[in-house]
Chains A and B, each alone.
Chain A
Amino acid sequence: MTEAPTDSLAIEAHHLTRRFGAQLAVDGVDLAIPRARIHGFLGPNGSGKTTTIRMLCGLLTPTSGEARVLGLRVPAEAEKLRLLIGYMTQRFSLYDDLTIRENLDFVAEVHSLARDERRARIDELLAEYRLGPRAAQRAGTLSGGQRQRLALAASLVHRPQLLFLDEPTSAVDPQSRREFWESLFRLVDAGTTILVSTHYMDEAERCHGLSILHEGVLVAHGTPRELMAGIAATVVEIEADDVRGARAALDPLPEVLSVAQLGTRLHALLDRDAPEPEARLRHALDEAGVAARVELAHASLEDVFVAATQRRAS
């Protein structure tokens, strides 16, 4: 892989670290995110996704390390950066007691959009995010999906080059989620860079690039395809009538990283360096007297995630 020239990077971070008292929330994260791409932060709650995003927006001062966002140093040049970025917070941060149009008006005004431009831009956003018919409705009475579209529209009023989305789909049904992602791809086609945090695997798979965070540490990064191909584990599927018995036989084996049950099947991750994984498992199952079929399987993104976080724990 060749190193991309710096000016084509939207976000560049070196050893970004943030400490809250004794707790290390983000620990030495390096990032290089190209422009006009959707980049995902994948990680469980408390893995440092939000803290990292806040540092990149200039809302939090890094304890150490440095970052350049759209070529600007943060937090030193955060005020300048604010004109160029949009930030959709995890919690709905618009005004519940204002209508959709009033909320968008407010955001447009604080971004100093001229009156004519403001009206045109808001009408455009209302149409794009199917909020037009509800423009006079108060934000507090909207459904999860509508609120999310409003929040996205509000973060786009000033046509930012870079959009931060912090778990944007956590309160949204699958249908709305799919539509939401389609609108994100339209933005990327128009040249916007998007950084999105999520703990949904299906969302992570849609990203151009991914960073997997675990306990504040960047444990894996690459495209979803690269990550799945380069998984540091062997994936094995076991089909058995006595699923619980099979699981009891596999769990104690030292090379088994994790076992997850999917209906009547077990999905196991094994250390990649362990020799003859299938034979080892069959042997263990035979000894336990469990009849089972064992076969190798393709890694999913979830496997990548589990392997990356499990190895760190051990």
Chain B
Amino acid sequence: MRATLGRVLAIARKEVRQLLRDRLTFAMVFGIPVMQLLLFGYAINQDVRHLRAAVADQAGTQSARLLAADAEASQVVDIVARVDTAAELESLLRRGRVAVGILIPPDFEERAARGDRPAAQLLVDGSDPILVQAARGLLDLPLRDAERAVPHAEAPRAFEFRPFYNPERRSAVQIVPGLIGVILTMTMTLFTAVAIVRERERGNLELLITTPVRTPELMVGKILPYMAIGLVQVTLILIVGSFLFRVPIRGAVVDIYAAGFVFVIATLGLGLFISTLAQTQFQAFQLTFFSFLPQILLSGFMFPFDGMPRTAQLFAEVFPLTHFVRIIRGILLRGASLADVFPEIWPLVAFFAASMALSVARFRKRLD
């Protein structure tokens, strides 16, 4: 009995020693719980407010302005743009600039006076279910007259609800596009994260550094095959998504591949950078997992971006997945073109360039 305890303690002591020496695992002991807590605490905010909204006020009357002001006062929306036509509203929605469009038609006053149906329309981006839910909060908004500060009890509803892009609100339609990004992030980062480390672990790096291969050549050569693999994965998910889950492909297929390619190289860059940090394949796995968690939680794939506090949003803007989720939802569900989502493309290119530069700078063709 005593001997058993002694042996158990011997192993425990050894384990603690090794743990203390393995700085990465040790950091994760504290890092993962703290990070998870912060991320979930920030990200899981179902009480979504301050959706970006645009107003097309075609009536231009006092009560129309009041309606827009009331909508904003509810804190459900922030009015970030004012346009003239319904077409402009839809364009803003398609490009993902706003999540909600408030359309006040020219005959707003007459409709309000008749009171048989809602006088204004609420156009909502249906590609995110939580956004739809949040925007529904505006439906309770009553119509009120310019003269009366408080609406009378039987005031008609101001808005007619028009969810766009996913009128049936099927969850597969909402999830599959973002899933392309999630799957690519996981596989691409992991493949390249072990790439350099594996050479190091197996002793091949000693051979490589004595050859005339230059560092950038090594880096690009390492990720080149995975670029093709990434596009194969895009194809696979698209086929399964559209046949099995009937996810619409409203944009151009060539745009999907172009955006997919830019995203793939960005994630490969991330993996390569991890590869220059890690000393063993196991560490590479750990670091990949570590980088994966905040991406999935903060990218807008799982929880709506608009629901997160400003700091979390700024942090999330760094991740490739954040931009790709917006791009791919735009192209697949809202029929956006590459030009429409261009503001989300260049951060991916910048991420790729930065991660490659860092990887090349970190990698030494020396052993010291």
Tell me the A residues contacting B by CB distance below 8 Å: 54, 57-61, 75, 78-79, 82-83, 85, 87, 89, 91-96, 107, 110-112, 154
Contact = CB atoms under 8 A, between A and B. Distances in A.
Contacts of A110: 208, 211-213
Contacts of A89: 203, 206-207, 210
A82 B214 CA distance: 11
Given A89-B203, A94-B204, A82 B367 contact: no
B202 interface: yes
A94 B366 contact: no
A59 B210 contact: yes
Given A89-B203, A94-B204, A94-B207, A60 B366 contact: yes
A93 B203 contact: yes
A83 B367 contact: no
Nearest to B366: A59
A156 to B, nearest CB: 13
Contact of B203 (A58, A75, A85, A91): A91
Nearest to A59: B367
B207 A60 contact: no
B337 to A, nearest CB: 41
A60 B367 contact: yes
A53 to B, nearest CB: 11
7 contacts: A54-B367, A61-B368, A93-B203, A93-B204, A94-B204, A95-B204, A107-B207
B219 to A, nearest CB: 14
A82 B211 contact: yes
Contacts of A83: 212
A96 B199 CA distance: 11
Contacts of B367: 54, 59-60
B358 interface: no
B209 interface: yes
Interface string B120-139: 00000000000000000000
Interface of B: 202-213, 365-368
A78 B366 CA distance: 10
A78 B209 CA distance: 11
A89 B206 CA distance: 7
A24 to B, nearest CB: 15
Interface centre among B202, B205, B207 (most CB of A within 10 A): B207
Nearest to A20: B368
Chain A, interface SS category: loop
Contact of B210 (A61, A82, A96, A112): A82
B220 to A, nearest CB: 13
B212 A79 contact: yes
Chain B, interface SS category: loop
A87 B203 contact: no
Contacts of B206: 89, 91, 93
Contacts of A58: 366
Contact of B366 (A61, A85, A87, A91): A61
Given A59-B366, A93-B206, 7 more contacts: A60-B367, A78-B365, A82-B210, A89-B207, A93-B207, A95-B202, A110-B211
Contacts of A87: 210
Contacts of B204: 93-95
A227 B154 CA distance: 113
Contacts of A85: 210
Nearest to B205: A93
A61 B202 CA distance: 23
A57 B213 contact: no
A89 B209 CA distance: 11
B364 to A, nearest CB: 10
B216 to A, nearest CB: 13
Given A60-B366, A60-B367, A75-B366, A96 B212 contact: no
A89 B208 CA distance: 11
Nearest to B202: A96
A183 B203 CA distance: 25
B25 to A, nearest CB: 24
A154 B206 CA distance: 13
A85 B205 CA distance: 17
A57 B367 CA distance: 11
Contacts of B209: 59
Contacts of B202: 95-96
A89 B204 CA distance: 10
A60 B203 contact: no
Contact of B212 (A57, A93, A112): A112
A111 B211 CA distance: 7
A107 B210 contact: no
A112 B217 CA distance: 13
Nearest to B209: A59
Given A54-B367, A59-B366, A111 B203 contact: no
A230 B303 CA distance: 81
B236 to A, nearest CB: 25
Contacts of B210: 57, 59, 82, 85, 87, 89
A39 B47 CA distance: 77
Interface centre among B210, B213, B366 (most CB of A within 10 A): B210
A182 to B, nearest CB: 25
B211 A60 contact: no
A95 B203 CA distance: 9
B191 to A, nearest CB: 16
B203 A92 contact: yes
A58 B211 CA distance: 11
A82 B208 CA distance: 11
Contacts of A111: 211-212
B331 to A, nearest CB: 39
4 pairs of A and B residues whose beta carbons are closest in the complex? A93-B207, A87-B210, A93-B206, A91-B203
A91 B368 CA distance: 18
A112 B208 CA distance: 14
Contacts of B212: 79, 82-83, 110-112
Contacts of B205: 93
Contacts of B366: 58-61, 75
A78 B208 CA distance: 14
B359 to A, nearest CB: 19
